[in-house]
Amino acid sequence: MLKIFRHHIPIGSLVEVIADSLLCFAAVLIASAGLPGGLHDAQSHGFLTSDVLLWAAGFAGFMSLLFSFVGLYRRGAIHVSLRAMLNRGLVALFMGACIAYLALQVEGNRYDVARLITYSLPLMAVGVLMVRSIGYLARRMAVGARRVLIVGTGADAQGVACHLASDTAARHILVGFYPAGVDEPSVQGLPGAIFSTRTSLDDLVREHRVDEVIVAVREQRGGTVPMDKLLSCRIRGVPILDLAGFSERSRGEVPLDSLKASWLVYGHGFAQDRLRAAVKRMFDLLVSAALLVISAPVMILTAIAIKLESPGPVIYRQERVGFGGRIFMCLKFRSMCVDAERDGVARWATKDDTRITRVGSFIRKCRIDELPQLFSVLRGEMSMVGPRPERPAFVKQLQAEIPFYDIRHSIKPGVTGWAQVRYSYGASVEDARRKHQFDLYYVKNHSLFLDLLVLIETVSVVVFREGAQ
């Protein structure tokens, strides 16, 4: 994992981004040199000059963005087969080729534009196939995987081991388990060796070439965890992670079960300075204004469809809890029948809710119903990225049942968010609890970089309906 602006990025994904960009850049240059007349003729017609180098670099960056939009780098959130990944890559290549062709035509550079695209497209397709295939084989062979030792043999240790085993990127190799104390219950059938406590922990780390130690024990007082041996390993350069740190790094969430207030108080993050607020506000204004202009035709057609299908208002206004716990009116396209809550009782919206209209079902799946919230962003009531705003009745319930729930109100709620692109549709207190763990991660580590990642992943979630709300 590579940490960029407090957010952990898989090194494999970063390598794929760089490899894709270089391959697309090289494909354009090779195709330019292979045009009729060879390199000299291409130069005389404006190719292989500083202009084409800049164009090739821009095209490479644009293709990397398209690959991000189709979810090629989202392995931490979804499990997609190699074949599906290749199909998505080919779709992105075809779209990029069409857009590049139109861009070159508009620019007025008409010298063998069609041939340039025709020559470069197969090269890029082969490159995408090679990068994905090599990455797939590297993960299967666990190339570059870190050797991990888990301290603990209980249910938490089993949970950590199961997560490591389910990681499709194969970034870790489980060495085994080191008991944390004689009183700790051991789960039967742990997927790895259980070492004896008669062997010193630091000797075990040295003997088995352990790259990382994960302490999967919630209660560490009373000598249950060999802190002196852990300190010895840490001094030698071996990273030591507790449950909260491991979950934050590997899952992008902050676990509530093992979370203590002291970890939040003394840990890093929670940047709420004026500069960050000003940058986020400027980002919100630019993005929301641009999206309103782009989506205006879709919003008009949606309003007409809602009005034709059922009587009632087009825009649905509902009280939500926002920044600092203040109430604001959240705007949405109406997706339910007018009397959906005629008894006045607030209800969770379920996946196959009978109150949802036919038009409403479509716009909810495509998240078109969220577009009016862009006006709330312009007014400063919401942000483009942040925790999902909940209704006051639900907030009161969730505050009583979910620890640290009020932390999510320390920043503005968002049109989309880290929880929305990382967790499937939620319609219960337990779902709200799990999504709150992702919201805590965002509040703790939010940055402009993370906002951009969320917006990019939102495109993938909407286009491929990957289960996020």
- Backbone φ and ψ for 135, nearest 5 degrees, come out as -60, -40
More confident site: 117 or 344: 117
In angstroms, rounded to a whole number, what is the distance separating the alpha carbons of residues 238 and 212?
6
Q: What average pLDDT score do residues 276-281 get?
A: 91
- The pLDDT tens digits for 98-156 are 888 887 777 665 556 677 777 888 888 888 888 878 877 776 676 678 899 999 888 88
pLDDT at 39: 41
- pLDDT higher than threshold 60 for residue 32: yes
117-150: b or e for each residue (b if 16 or more CB lie within 10 Å)? bebbbebbbebbeebbeebeebbeeeeebeebbb
Q: What percent of the chain has pLDDT over 70?
A: 85
Write the burial class of residue 387 (CB in 10 Å: 0-12 exposed, 13-18 middle, 19+ buried): buried
- pLDDT higher than threshold 60 for residue 26: yes
Query: Residue 38: pLDDT band by 50, 70, 90 thresholds?
Result: very low
pLDDT at 345: 63
- Locate 13 and state its tokens: 């994904």
- pLDDT higher than threshold 80 for residue 390: yes
- The pTM of the full predicted model, rounded to 2 decimals, is 0.83
pLDDT at 356: 84
Q: What average pLDDT score do residues 214-231 get?
A: 82
23-41: b or e for each residue (b if 16 or more CB lie within 10 Å)? bbbbbbbebbbebeeeeee
- pLDDT higher than threshold 60 for residue 163: yes
- Locate 355 and state its tokens: 């109150």
DSSP of 103-163: HHHHHT--TTHHHHHHHHHHHHHHHHHHHHHHHHHHHHTTTTPEEEEEE--SHHHHHHHHH
Q: What average pLDDT score do residues 437-445 get?
A: 92
For the beta carbon of residue 244, count every other beta carbon within 10 angstroms: 20
pLDDT at 137: 78
Mean pLDDT (the chain) is: 83
Q: What average pLDDT score do residues 35-40 get?
A: 49
pLDDT at 184: 65
In angstroms, rounded to a whole number, what is the distance separating the alpha carbons of residues 9 and 452?
13
- Locate 136 and state its tokens: 């797939």
pLDDT at 239: 92
Under DSSP, the state recorded for 224 is T
- pLDDT higher than threshold 80 for residue 449: yes
Q: Mind listing the domains of the chain with CATH numbers?
A: 2-140 (no CATH), 146-251 (3.40.50.720), 274-464 (no CATH)
Mapped onto helix, strand or coil, the DSSP state of residue 291 is: helix
DSSP of 201-217: HHHHHHHTT--EEEE--
More confident site: 59 or 288: 288
pLDDT at 9: 82
Query: Residue 468: pLDDT band by 50, 70, 90 thresholds?
Result: very low
More confident site: 251 or 330: 330
Q: What percent of the chain has pLDDT over 90?
A: 33
